Amino acid sequence: MLDSDLIFYNLRLNPYPMKIKISKSFTPYPEALIVPIVQNEGFENALTKMAEWAGVAPELMLADFKADWKEIATLYPTGKTDLKRIYLLGLGKDVTAPKVLTAFRSLSYRLKSKLPPRTGVSFLRMEQTDQVVPWIEAAVNGLLLGQYDTGQYKTEEKKPQPLFTDGAELGIYTTVDVAAAVEKARAVAETQLRLLDLVNAPANKKMPRTLAEWALESGDRYGYSVEVFDGDQLKELGLHALLAVSQGSESPPAFLVMEYTPADATAGTLHKVGLVGKGVTFDTGGISIKESAHMHMMKSDMAGAAAVLGAMELAARLRLPVHLIGVIPATENSVDAKSTKPGDVIGSYLGKTIEVIDTDAEGRLILADALAYLNRNYQPEVIIDLATLTGSVIGTLGYHAAGLFTHNDELAAELTRAADQTGERVWRLPLWDVYEEDLHSDVADLKNYGGKPVAGAISGAKFLEVFTENHPRWAHLDVAGVAFTDSEFSKMRSATAYGVRLLVEYLSRL
Ligand code: BES
Ligand code: ZN
Ligand code: ZN
């Protein structure tokens, strides 16, 4: 049942109330028309014709607008047309769906309050490419996401953006059938928007229970089951590692198990995929406390969980033909007299004992329980976990790619293909057994930290591997660098909803 007191952030149940109309021609004219321009051979001729038609000087326009990626030019037609505004949007030369998405998101962000209630986008000149459907999907997703506003807790009254209000209409002009792609783009953007709010929410407005409430509400609305284990149930289930991480927190932990099967599914014909997301609502480091400079960003240490929530919601909403199980261990990692101390030996769901060398390596502890629980209770064909697991992966790949760990070449290829399509980069790192020595403990079955400041992302992955019990199709994504980053869309680092589109793309291709 929903306890609205626990939902501290805006739930945004209907974030984009405007209509989206797909049509073959732009009559009646919208108040503004966005025209994406690919920098291909002959684009200048086409622009010259457009300039003549609009009654603006072609030479000046071509001198000023080069169709570079994300470049915008505004034309105010004076010719015999009712069209009052044209926004040319450059897509550059080597166009890909991720670049289309960023260009549209950037335009939407930059023209925020300017796009009028009837704005259209013409893809009529882009239909020669076989990529037009994914490009339109990317464009719509970008346009919607560009409206995201990080100022959730500002008290000044927010003016609704004219195009994104009730009664407004976004026109998509194309002769290709893109209804499903447009609906998908809208659904994905809505989920992403709500997850951006959730990941950006500070820890005093987002507790483990809040993640549970989010899942319950979403499951209710889109038709998937959500079971929330808490209190004594966690001990009964044997989630000892999760309990060890949470024991220093005022806010109680929760263990979420979600399951979706399409209504019309014939049993046994579907692929069974299990997802696990790290749900640390705040990571102080525990007794091995973090330095303060960047600690505030550890409100985003549940971004892996957010990606799993998003994938569950969208699988159900888009009725993807897959049997999907999502598991989220949710807890804070806090400092207290009751906190787990360095050197403590704890238990785990699998029964293995763990020497906790560093209480800041808490993600692998809670994931150990979640991975083992998922594997033992559901036997998925594929297991994918997402976690803001290590600072080390940022040292390795920076803020542009997630570390991908798997023994399975096929799964690596599938995830990489999906990532290339969505623009959420992944880069494979090794799981060689030589790294296992980092896990050796003299006093317990294994330890959670090797004590060496090298290859930290790999030792983290090696630790998780133990708790998958050598599952043949398991992949771990270390998303520490990509889930909460700098971007052109906010002045401070903020959430990216990394992984949501990647998972949906991967699941859609199964
Ligand atoms: N949540 C952090 C990892 C992290 C760091 C995420 C920076 C996002 C940005 C994780 O729990 C952690 O503290 N990892 C430690 C592990 C170490 C103690 C073995 C790290 O990476 O320093
Ligand atoms: Zn930590
Ligand atoms: Zn953490």
Within a domain: 320: yes
Q: Are residues 34 and 146 in the same domain?
A: yes
Ligand 1 binding pocket includes 424 (Cβ within 6 Å)? no
> How far is the centre of ligand 2, averaged over its atoms, from the C-alpha of 432 (Å)?
24
Catalytic position from the list 110, 290, 319, 352: 290
Q: Are residues 31 and 166 in the same domain?
A: yes
Cα distance between residue 498 and residue 483, in whole Å: 5
Within a domain: 427: no
Residue-range definition of the domain harbouring residue 465: 201-235+244-338+361-421+447-509
Domain total for the chain?
2
- Looking from the CA of residue 483, the nearest atom of ligand 1 is 8
**Which residue, judged by its Cα, is nearest atom 17 of ligand 1?**
361
Within a domain: 432: no
Q: Is the peptide bond before 28 cis (omega within 30 degrees of 0)?
A: yes
Q: Are residues 183 and 205 in the same domain?
A: no
Q: Are residues 273 and 183 in the same domain?
A: no
Ligand 1 binding pocket includes 246 (Cβ within 6 Å)? no
- Each residue of 452-471: pLDDT tens digit? 999 999 999 999 999 999 99
Q: Are residues 179 and 226 in the same domain?
A: no
Calculated CA dihedral for residues 54, 57, 62, 67, nearest 10 degrees: -30
Within a domain: 356: no
Ligand 1 binding pocket includes 369 (Cβ within 6 Å)? no
- The residue type found at 451 is G
> How far is the centre of ligand 2, averaged over its atoms, from the C-alpha of 481 (Å)?
14
> How far is the centre of ligand 3, averaged over its atoms, from the C-alpha of 373 (Å)?
20
CA distances for 54 relative to 74, 78, 163, 488, angstroms: 12, 6, 23, 32
> How far is the centre of ligand 1, averaged over its atoms, from the C-alpha of 168 (Å)?
44
Closest ligand to the CA of 390: 1
- Looking from the CA of residue 460, the nearest atom of ligand 1 is 19
Q: Are residues 270 and 329 in the same domain?
A: yes
pLDDT of residue 10: 67
Q: Are residues 217 and 144 in the same domain?
A: no
User: pLDDT tens digits, the chain, 510 residues: what are they?
Assistant: 445 555 666 667 788 999 999 999 987 899 999 999 999 999 999 999 999 999 999 999 999 999 999 999 999 999 778 899 999 999 999 999 999 999 999 999 999 889 999 999 999 999 988 999 999 999 999 999 999 988 889 998 877 789 999 999 999 999 999 999 999 999 999 999 999 999 999 999 999 999 999 999 999 999 999 999 999 999 999 999 999 999 999 999 999 999 999 998 776 789 999 999 999 999 999 999 999 999 999 999 999 999 999 999 999 999 999 999 999 999 999 999 999 999 999 999 999 999 999 999 999 999 999 999 999 999 999 999 999 999 999 999 999 999 999 999 999 999 999 999 999 999 999 999 999 999 999 999 999 999 999 999 999 999 999 999 999 999 999 999 999 999 998 899 999 999 999 999 999 999
Within a domain: 322: yes
> How far is the centre of ligand 3, averaged over its atoms, from the C-alpha of 139 (Å)?
34
Q: Are residues 71 and 117 in the same domain?
A: yes
Within a domain: 453: yes
Q: Which residue among 187, 221, 254 closes a domain?
A: 187
3-state SS, 289-308, equals: CCCCCCHHHHHHCCHHHHHH
Among 389, 397, 464, the mutation site with the greatest number of ligand 1 atoms within 8 A of its Cβ is: 389
**What token pair was written down for 153?**
């807790």
Within a domain: 428: no
Tell me if residue 118 is catalytic: no
pLDDT of residue 26: 84
Q: Are residues 371 and 499 in the same domain?
A: yes
Within a domain: 349: no
Ligand 1 binding pocket includes 260 (Cβ within 6 Å)? no
Q: Are residues 497 and 407 in the same domain?
A: yes
Ligand 1 binding pocket includes 332 (Cβ within 6 Å)? no
Ligand 1 binding pocket includes 283 (Cβ within 6 Å)? yes
Tell me if residue 290 is catalytic: yes
- CATH number, domain of 459, equals 3.40.630.10
- CATH number, domain of 133, equals 3.40.220.10
Contact 507, 273 (CB under 8 A): yes
